[in-house]
């Protein structure tokens, strides 16, 4: 039971990272990313392959994963930066699908749908499973704190102010002389790097990744986490992630207790609940539990 | 090699014509409501299953299945838009797009709850393929082609000659002007949802007649639908047809070079290519 709780905390931490990454683009810059799971998967594969096949250490695999996903983010953002956000929605959704197809079919590299097993984790062999779990919780918690502090610094910096200006009205930002397109591409790259980092951490924790692990539903979890917590608020992203993991796990027990449901029906109920709660949040509590606080303008 | 390529082009034109039906739905909804409605995926699945029920359980022929799918998916589209998406539209197109993805997950799981995950096939008579000059085409394919062409013809006639069709085009072209002229935007929104999602439903039946269906049917083709709409010019109905044919032929021809699994990736590549080289798509954004 302790192991289960620790594992849930690790997952909450990973979702917190994903929500923080989403907050940089969606919360701060007002750009959409509906293919979060694609960047998450890409990061997981890059670090898993580098540590398992090329013999890199995890300490080198994590930044490499962040760099590669940032590069992918730059490409996606560059192609769509000139257009309305709708195109970014379509392209990011497509991107995640292409990542999944590639991971399923480049068998020489990714082992196809069988996935990659035996991904090294820090001192996995030497430690008892319980100790490994705790150690990993520490690593993930550290990552969350570092990313949270960095995101807060970003938010309060002049740079973050420009991002918010672009979110609220990118034409005004452009008229004020800000290179809007460059800011958008950079913000997307930063966000993608965080998503990739989360993916890499996921792979080293579970030691197994496969294309079917990275379902589009994960993107919805993350959007839900950020919306529940408070779009634009970094602390809200972390809180929302913890709540969503708690919610997801409790539905597991509730659906298991419902009589007369086949396994596939129970799974369907859970997934539908996730989607429905996102719709309800967007409708009735769009600012989330911790709404973004914007300092009122100083009186002249 | 040449015969193979010609065969692939024929297959691609058939697949593209079928793809054009949901692509018109997607682009028409975009033209009027100005957001990418990803819930099209689940409405395509709903149509596929509605057609499946009347075809397999009640023994209706394919044409009846198409009609039921159009009505079923269209009504579901109007209902879901009224209850879920319309209240969110003031929050902006991107928030609505996110809600549409969530909606598609909910609906897909409703289908999964009722029917399970297994693949299901329509009940069809077995027919011999037509062959000529070393090329072949399935009799069912020809029928599907006919259904798709008829559906598109109906849409074009509706848009060109009926008063409501003209009202729809007016709202797509200039919502403010249409409003001033007394066109009720809510009515047009309901109408475009009915027609657009209904077309998605027909697309679902056509896919089901061609292969088999499961709760993920809509999600699997949605990338090709986006690609068709973007390649032709998002918001342009003739563009969706041109885009669908381009993407259909492109996906089939890719088989000469790539593994079949990469077919959907071809659609994505087409999106990137068009956005880079010809951002407004082949026919531009004019709605009609």
Mean pLDDT per 10-residue segment, chain A (300 residues): 90 97 95 95 97 93 97 94 85 93 93 93 88 96 98 95 93 92 96 98 96 92 95 96 93 84 90 94 92 67
pLDDT of res. B129: 78
CB–CB of A233/A286 below 8 Å?
A: no
Task: Enumerate long-range contacts of B181-188, CB under 8 Å, 24 or more apart.
Answer: B188/B32, B188/B164
CB–CB of B82/B190 below 8 Å?
A: yes
pLDDT of res. A259: 82
Nearest to A27 by CA among B98, B272, B30, B86: B98
The residues, any chain, with a CB within 8 Å of residue A177's CB and separated by 6 or more, are none
Phi, psi (degrees; rounded to nearest 5) at A123: 50, 35
Give the three-state DSSP class for A214. Answer: coil
ipTM above 0.85 for this complex: yes
| Inter-chain CB proximity A98 and B268 less than 8 Å | yes
pLDDT of res. A299: 53
| Dist CA A46 CA B5 (whole Å) | 37
pLDDT at B259 over 80: yes
| Dist CA A49 CA A64 (whole Å) | 11
What structural domains does chain B harbor?
2-277 (1.10.3470)
- Measure CB to CB from residue A94 to each of B110, B117, B268 and give the nearest one: B268
Q: Name the one residue in this structure whose structure tokens are 């897909």.
A: B108
pLDDT of res. A281: 94
Nearest to A214 by CA among A45, A89, A24: A45
Confidence of residue B54 (pLDDT cuts 50, 70, 90): very high
The count of C-alpha atoms lying within 13 angstroms of the C-alpha of A156, restricted to the half-sphere facing its C-beta, is 8
Give the three-state DSSP class for B82. Answer: helix
The residues, any chain, with a CB within 8 Å of residue A297's CB and separated by 6 or more, are none
**What pLDDT, in 10s, does the model give residues B168-218?**
898 888 888 888 888 898 999 999 999 999 999 999 999 999 889 999 999
* Dihedral sign (CA A209, A196, A278, A249): positive
Burial of residue A171, with CB atoms counted within 10 A of its CB: 0-12 exposed, 13-18 middle, 19 or more buried? exposed
Residues of A in contact with B97 (CB under 8 A): 32, 34, 86, 89
Interface-testing mutation among A22, A37, A220, A282, with chain B (most B C-beta atoms within 10 A):
A282
CB–CB of B237/B151 below 8 Å?
A: no
Give the three-state DSSP class for A8. Answer: helix
- Measure CB to CB from residue B262 to each of A79, A105, A223 and give the nearest one: A105
The residues, any chain, with a CB within 8 Å of residue B138's CB and separated by 6 or more, are B127, B129, B130
Closest Cα in chain A, distance from residue B62 (Å): 29
- Measure CB to CB from residue A85 to each of B94, B99, B110 and give the nearest one: B94
Please give the mean pLDDT across all residues of chain B: 91
| Dist CA A33 CA B133 (whole Å) | 49
The angle formed by the CA atoms of residues B118, A247 and A62, to the nearest 5 degrees, is 85
More confident residue, B253 or B264: B253
Find, in chain B, the residue whose alpha carbon is nearest to that of A85: B94
User: How many Cβ atoms are within 10 Å of B65's Cβ, its own excluded?
Assistant: 30
The residues, any chain, with a CB within 8 Å of residue B240's CB and separated by 6 or more, are B20, B23, B24, B26, B27, B228, B229, B232
- Measure CB to CB from residue B261 to each of A83, A104, A264 and give the nearest one: A104
Question: What are the CA-CA distances from residue A255 to residues A8, A215, A246, A271 (Å)?
Answer: 18, 20, 14, 11
Give the three-state DSSP class for B135. Answer: strand
Length in residues, chain A: 300
Average of pLDDT values for B243-261? 92
CB–CB of A247/A239 below 8 Å?
A: no
Q: Which residues of A touch B (CB under 8 A)?
A: 30, 32, 34, 79-80, 82-87, 89-91, 93-95, 97-98, 101-102, 104-105, 216-217, 219-220, 223-224, 262, 264-265, 267-269, 271-272, 274-276, 278-279, 282-283, 286
Provide the token pair at B262: 């990469």
DSSP character string of B185-242: HHHHHHHHHHHHHHHHHHHHHHHHHHS-B-TTHHHHHHHHHHHHHHHH-TT-HHHHHH
Q: List beta partners, residue B16.
A: none
- Measure CB to CB from residue B110 to each of A91, A219, A272 and give the nearest one: A272
Average of pLDDT values for B29-39? 94
| Inter-chain CB proximity A282 and B91 less than 8 Å | yes
Q: Name the one residue in this structure whose structure tokens are 């769509």.
A: A80
| Dist CA B83 CA A116 (whole Å) | 43
| Dist CA B105 CA B84 (whole Å) | 13
Question: Do strands B130-132 and A208-209 pair parallel, antiparallel, or not at all (unpaired)?
Answer: unpaired
The residues, any chain, with a CB within 8 Å of residue B286's CB and separated by 6 or more, are B173, B233, B235, B236
pLDDT at B287 over 90: no
**What pLDDT, in 10s, does the model give residues B116-144?**
999 999 988 777 777 777 777 888 888 89
Closest Cα in chain A, distance from residue B242 (Å): 19
Give the three-state DSSP class for B92. Answer: coil
Nearest to A24 by CA among A185, A199, A200, A215: A185
B113-150 burial code (b ≥16 CB/10 A, e <16) = bebeeeeeebeeeeeeeeeeeeeebeebbebbbebbee
DSSP character string of A188-209: HHHHHHHHHHHHHHHHHHHSEE
Confidence of residue B277 (pLDDT cuts 50, 70, 90): confident
Residues of B in contact with A223 (CB under 8 A): 98, 102
Give the three-state DSSP class for A118. Answer: coil
| Dist CA B206 CA B229 (whole Å) | 18
Provide the token pair at B53: 């029920």
Question: Do strands A208-209 and A116-117 pair parallel, antiparallel, or not at all (unpaired)?
Answer: antiparallel
pLDDT of res. A296: 62
């Amino acid at each position: 039971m302790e192991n289960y709780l620790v594992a849930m905390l690790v997952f909450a931490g990973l979702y917190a990272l994903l929500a923080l990454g989403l907050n940089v683009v969606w919360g701060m810059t007002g750009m959409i990313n509906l293919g979060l799971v694609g960047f998450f998967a890409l990061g997981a594969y890059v670090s898993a392959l580098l540590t398992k096949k090329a013999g890199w250490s995890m300490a080198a695999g994590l930044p490499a994963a962040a760099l590669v996903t940032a590069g992918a983010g730059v490409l996606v953002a560059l192609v769509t930066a000139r257009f309305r956000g709708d195109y970014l929605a379509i392209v990011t959704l497509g991107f995640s699908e292409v990542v999944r197809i590639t991971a399923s079919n480049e068998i020489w590299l990714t082992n196809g749908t069988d996935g990659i097993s035996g991904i090294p984790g820090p001192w996995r062999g030497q430690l008892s499973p319980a100790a490994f779990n705790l150690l990993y919780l520490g690593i993930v918690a550290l990552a969350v704190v570092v990313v949270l502090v960095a995101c807060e610094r970003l938010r309060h910096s002049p740079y973050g102010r420009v991002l918010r200006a672009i979110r609220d009205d990118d034409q005004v930002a452009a008229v004020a002389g800000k290179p809007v397109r460059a800011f958008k591409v950079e913000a997307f790259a930063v966000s993608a790097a965080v998503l990739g980092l989360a993916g890499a951490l996921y792979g080293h924790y579970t030691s197994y990744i496969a294309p079917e692990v990275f379902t589009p539903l994960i993107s919805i979890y993350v959007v839900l986490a950020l919306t529940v917590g408070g779009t634009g608020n970094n602390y809200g992203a972390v809180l929302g992630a913890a709540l969503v993991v708690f919610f997801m796990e409790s539905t597991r027990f509730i659906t298991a207790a419902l009589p007369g449901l086949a396994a596939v029906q129970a799974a369907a109920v859970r997934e539908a609940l996730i989607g429905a709660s996102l719709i309800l949040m967007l409708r009735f509590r769009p600012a989330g539990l911790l709404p973004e606080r914007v300092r009122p303008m100083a009186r002249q | 090699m040449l015969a193979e390529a010609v065969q692939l082009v024929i297959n691609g034109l058939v697949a593209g014509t079928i793809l054009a039906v949901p692509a018109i739905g997607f682009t028409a909804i975009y033209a009027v409501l100005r957001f990418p409605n990803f819930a099209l995926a689940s409405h395509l699945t709903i149509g596929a299953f509605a057609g499946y029920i009347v075809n397999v359980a009640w023994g209706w022929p394919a044409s009846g299945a198409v009609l039921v799918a159009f009505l079923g998916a269209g009504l579901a589209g109007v209902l879901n838009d009224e209850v879920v998406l319309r209240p969110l539209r003031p929050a902006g197109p991107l928030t609505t797009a996110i809600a549409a993805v969530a909606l598609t997950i909910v609906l897909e799981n409703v289908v999964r709850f009722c029917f399970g995950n297994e693949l299901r096939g329509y009940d069809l008579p077995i027919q011999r393929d037509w062959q000529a000059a070393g090329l072949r085409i399935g009799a069912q394919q020809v029928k599907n082609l006919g259904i798709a062409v008829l559906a598109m013809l109906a849409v074009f006639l509706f848009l060109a000659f009926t008063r409501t069709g003209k009202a729809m085009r007016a709202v797509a072209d200039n919502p403010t002007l249409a409003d001033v002229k007394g066109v009720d935007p809510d009515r047009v929104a309901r109408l475009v949802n009915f027609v657009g999602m209904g077309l998605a439903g027909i697309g679902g039946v056509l896919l089901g007649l061609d292969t088999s269906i499961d709760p993920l049917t809509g999600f699997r083709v949605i990338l090709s639908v986006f690609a068709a709409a973007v390649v032709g010019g998002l918001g342009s109905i003739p563009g969706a047809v041109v885009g669908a044919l381009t993407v259909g032929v492109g996906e089939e021809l890719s088989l000469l070079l790539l593994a079949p699994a990469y077919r959907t990736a071809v659609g994505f590549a087409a999106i990137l290519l068009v956005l880079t080289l010809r951002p407004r798509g082949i026919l531009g954004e004019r709605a009609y």
